[in-house]
Amino acid sequence: MSDNRLGDPRFFRRAGPFPLATVAEVAGAEAPEGAAGLMLTGVAPLQSAGPDEVSFLHNRKYLPDLERTSAGAVVLSAEFAARLPPGIAALITTDPHVAWARVGGLFHPDEAVIPGVHPTAVLDPDAEIDPSAGIGPLAVVGAGAVIGPGCRIGAGAVIGPGVVLGRDCRIGPLASLTHALLGERVYVYPGARIGQEGFGFAMTPSGFISVPQLGRVILQDDVEIGANVTVDRGAAHDTIIGAGSRVDNLVQIGHNVHLGRSCVVVAQAGISGSTVLEDFVQVGAQAGLTGHLRIGTGARIGAQCGVMSDVAAGADVVGSPAMPVREFFRNVAVLRRLARKGPLGVDGRRGDGRNDT
């Protein structure tokens, strides 16, 4: 019979149970007096959590669920603690979302790497593979590649010649890496393509001549690259993804692009060559950035935004072409007023008083 609890054990590793005191410590909260020994077996949403599970709330939209929950403990902010039903332990934190991430990781840690090489993997004799790494079935590791301690290479992944993986990297099934240097704890999801030749060519009267792409891809510590992302290697400079940055599924990053620390690029966005994102930039889904731009620290680019010029630090832009949020909505308001008036008169009527239709 299937287990309906969150984190199906067929797919997710489980740990525990843990006493409430341990969970509170991980969450950065204090265990309520007299309840520190309560044993908790897992995590669950407010609606389905039982008395031996911990849940969380960080959005007031779900207050009705909080008031009806049967959880043993709830991670939440102080302003909502009074809404808990009697007998439920409140784990009060200043940032419940962060605390919840840590508690979830306590009960569902990453799968342990199983050291060793699958018999169907193909390893070049000149590759350097740490004995603690795990190499999956049909994976390929090229000449001179370095696989660091604790790395996990998924089934069918290709690690090209000379590629370097630092400690505890995870490479998903069917991903491919070439011309790339990875820091520690880098996660490349399934199907990603890292380090392929960038889109660069010169035009002549008789056709195109490809420009050599002589740079590399540098993925710094704690970077995550989503499924089916493509990151082109540099042409004359390296393509760099800064430490802690997260790139969502189906993103295209062109040659020579430089992302700073802790940037976020959401699904289906595209960043053209030689554009620089400074630290903590956020790029919404399906946004497009042309080449050779500079996006300032902390800027936020809205979904489906078309960015064709530099964006100042801390700016919020939307629309295509991109413009500051307030300007965009002023323009929308003006267009709506014009649409209501009609092209030749007011309220949908022609200037001569006849109905325009």
Active site residues: 255
Q: Is 329 left (phi over 0), alpha (psi -120 to 50) or beta?
A: alpha
Q: Which amino acid is at 164?
A: V
The answer to whether the CB of 274 falls within 8 A of the CB of 256 is yes
> What angle, 0 to 180 degrees and rounded to 10, lies between the N-to-C axes of helices 96-107 and 20-27?
130
Q: What is the Cα–Cα distance from 318 to 324, expressed in whole angstroms?
A: 6
Q: What is the Cα–Cα distance from 186 to 175, expressed in whole angstroms?
A: 13
Q: Which two tokens stand for residue 61?
A: 């939209």
Q: What is the Cα–Cα distance from 30 to 89, expressed in whole angstroms?
A: 10
Q: Which residues contact 53 (CB under 8 A, 6 or more apart)?
A: 5, 40, 41, 42, 43, 44, 71, 72
Longest distance between any two alpha carbons in the chain, whole Å: 87
Pairing of strands 323-324, 300-301: unpaired
The answer to whether the CB of 248 falls within 8 A of the CB of 212 is no
Position of tokens 């554009």? Answer: 275
Looking at 80-216, which runs of residues are DSSP E strands? 89-92, 116-117, 122-123, 128-129, 134-135, 140-141, 146-147, 152-153, 158-159, 164-165, 170-171, 176-177, 180-182, 187-188, 193-194, 201-204, 207-210
Q: Which two tokens stand for residue 315?
A: 């700016």
SS3 305: coil
